[in-house]
Each structure stands twice: as structure tokens, then as C-alpha cells.
Amino acid sequence: MSGVRELTVDLGDRSYPIYIGEGLLDEAGKLLANHGISKKSPLLIITDANVAERHLAHLETVLREGGFGVTSAVIPAGEGSKSLSQLEKLVGVALENGLDRKSAIVALGGGVVGDLAGFVAASYMRGINFVQIPTTILAHDSSVGGKVAVNHPLAKNIIGAFHQPELVLYDLSTLQTLPERDVKAGLSEVVKHGLIWDAEFVSWCDDNAEKLLALDPEALGYALYKGCSVKAAVVSRDERENDLRAILNLGHTIGHALEAVAGYGELLHGEAIAIGMVGSARLAVKLGAPEEVYGVTKRVLSRVGLPVRLPAHLDTDEIMRAMMHDKKFQEGAITFIVPVAIGKVEINKSVSTALIRDIVEQLKQEAV
């Protein structure tokens, strides 16, 4: 295990480590055992069809050789699987395979698998152990912070819990099979973590965009380490999203609305929030931030291959309505995360909807 990076998400007695490195899957048995995952109780791997094809047999073999009792459940790939009906199916599989209170759920996959499997782990018998093995770049984000959830027909991520994993095991090798579009979408949250917290890292992304797109292991390892570190720093200061954690929603108020209106699927999460971050940068400049906030945000996102223009066929009224269902509307007031400089944002609790409507319109005209 040369070149393995390690960091700790600091949450008191719910703290956990993240390991990032090439070939880490081979060490899964040892790492799970070291972090208290029981070999006496059956363990359930949850993954999706795309990931199963490429990496499931490998993980099953390693864990069985390590002495674990392994069963697997393969869900259809895609956001549609983050549903209560999948939850019900997976709980059925867990019951049929005798999972008990000492068992663990292992999520092998991207954010969809992580969020769904995490909610299974959070709610099965009111909470059992959970391990994240992320296989997408985006999942560097979803695997830190313990937010797990499924969707409701009327709103995304609305049914969920906070449930921290025992450990996260990030094998960079698994990322080599990731489709190009998902590579780019995943880099969106990486850039976001720079934009909210670390100007130097934003400029590193600017300089290393090509290496990242080529999945250069050293660059990728560093970027995921930095991304996870920023997220960990934020959530360890505010586990339950009382205040600070809201800054992680940069680009998400618009982004979530776009995903909902486009229909889950047309826009990937990372693409939607890239457009949302350009919107936030535009808003920032309107509210007095330096012009470069807009310029740099847009340039870096473009360099890593992300869309910065809002698809013109999406209806502005519908987008505005979708935002009204968003969790960030508390007691009628609309809260928006607004950059004040590159690497620094503030939580603005009184952005007028009229202003946001203007931004949405302008995003449809964005030069690319």
C-alpha cells in the first residue's frame, strides 16, 4: 500500500478514517477487520449493475478470503434507485440473509449506491454498521459527512438520516473504469470544495485540469484528498447542518431545481451544480464581490469539462417552483450560499426570489 493517503473525519465518538490509494480493494479484508466490522455476522454489499460488472467479484473474493460472510445485492444503476421501494427490497435481502445488529452494509459504488445503502444501514434494525467504498469521483463528497437518503417523487433526498460510516476506503484503481461524463461531473464537487474554502486549491485545479481529466493517479489522489479534507473540516464543525455546513450547498439551490425540472437523468448532479455555481458567482458579483469570482469560477469549471450554461428549454417558472420545495427555504426566507471571494463564501439568508429569477434567465445566455 504505497502512497496511501489517510485522513480522519473528526466527529467525537463517531469519528472515522478515509483511506485513499491505488489498489486498496486488495486490503479491504484487513481494513474492515481493523475497524470493528464483525466476521461473525453476515455482511451485505450493495452495488449497482455497472459497478458490479467491473469490481464486485474482486471485492467479494477479498472479503471472503478475509473471513467475512458476504452476500451482495445489485441494484439498477441511476438516481431512480434512490427510492423507498429499493429500500424495501434491500431490507428484504438483509432479512433473508440473516443480517443482525452486528452486521454491516458495504456500499460499493457512487453517490447513488452510497446514499441508498447508507439509509438501509441507518434504518435497518434502527441502525447497523456501514462502510463506504466509493467508486466515483463525486462520491468523495457523498462519503464524507454521513448524510444518507432516498428520494420522494416530489423531492430529492427528502427521506433520510445522518449515519456515519465506520470507514471509507477509496481505491483509485476503481475510478479508471468511470465514464468520462461522470469523471467531469465528479470534479464539480472537487472544485466546489476549493471555491468555498481554499483559493490555492482552486488555482491548483486550474493548473491540473488536464491531469485530472486523464485520471492521473497522483493528481487524482491529491484532489480527492483535498476535497475530502475540506468537506471533513466543515462537517466536523457542524455535523447536523445547523449553520456552517450550509456552505457545502454552494450551487445546490439552483442545481437541485435544475435536476428536478430536467427530470433526474438529463443533467448529472455535478453538471447541475456547476451551472448553479456559475449562477452563485454571478449573484456574488451583483452583491459586490470582485469580478474575478465569476471569471475564475466559470473558467475552472469549463476547464474540467463542465457545462456552465443553463439548457434554454428548461422553464424558468418551473425552476423557481422547484426551488420552493427545497430544504433551504426555512420559515419562508430564502437562503443562498454566495461567494465573497475565491475560497470564501457566506450564507445570505435574504436573497430575493426576483433576483434569482434574473440569474436563472442570464444563465440561459451564458457564453460557452
Binding range to a copy of itself, per CB under 8 A, among 81-89, 185-193, 253-261, 353-361 = 81-89
Query: Are the CB atoms for 86 and 46 separated by under 8 Å?
Result: no
SS3 337: strand
From 237, 245, 254, 366, select the one nearest 316 (Cα to Cα). 254
* Catalytically annotated residue among 54, 241, 364, 366: 241
Write the single-letter amino acid at 103: S
Reading the block at residue 150, the C-alpha cell is: 432516498
Specify whether 140 is catalytic: no
Q: How many CB atoms lie within 10 A of CB 132?
A: 29
Residues 157-186, one symbol each (x = binds a copy of itself by CB under 8 A, - = not), give -xxxxx------------------------
Complete edge-to-edge strand list for the sheet that includes strand 43-48: 5-9, 16-21, 167-171, 129-134, 104-109, 43-48, 70-75
Q: Does 142 bind ligand NAD (CB under 6 A)?
A: yes
| Only segment of 25-33, 73-81, 204-212, 350-358 that touches ligand NAD (CB under 6 A) | 73-81
End-to-end C-alpha distance for the chain, whole angstroms: 42
d(CA 284, CA 85): 41
Binds a copy of itself by CB under 8 A, chosen from 50, 72, 81, 123:
123
In the list a copy of itself, ligand NAD, none, the entry touching 84 (Cβ below 5 to 8 angstroms by class) is a copy of itself
CA distances to 39, 154, 185, 191, 280 from 251, rounded to whole Å, are 42, 20, 13, 11, 6
What number of chain residues touch a copy of itself (CB under 8 A)?
Answer: 37
What mask, x for binding ligand NAD by CB under 6 A, covers residues 30 to 49?
------------------x-
Nearest to 53 by CA among 185, 137, 177, 169: 177
User: Angle 40-171-168 (CA atoms, 0-180°, nearest 5)?
Assistant: 50
Site string for ligand NAD, 154-183 (x = CB under 6 A): ---x----------------xx-xxx--x-
Nearer to ligand NAD, 190 or 284 (CB): 190
Catalytic residue of the set 252, 282, 298, 303? 252
CB 323 to a copy of itself: min, Å? 13
User: Does residue number 327 form part of the binding site for a copy of itself (CB under 8 A)?
Assistant: yes
Under 8 Å between Cβ of 159 and 116: no
Instruction: Between 38 and 72, name the residue whose CB sits nearer to a copy of itself.
Output: 38
| Active-site annotation holder among 193, 249, 259, 271 | 249
Known binding site: residues? 111-115, 135-136, 147, 156, 174-177, 189, 252, 269
Query: So which residues are the catalytic ones?
Result: 126, 147, 189, 231, 241, 245, 249, 252, 256, 269
Q: Which residues bind a copy of itself (CB under 8 A)?
A: 38, 40-41, 84-85, 87-88, 91-92, 95-96, 100-102, 122-127, 147, 149, 152-155, 158-162, 325, 327, 329-332
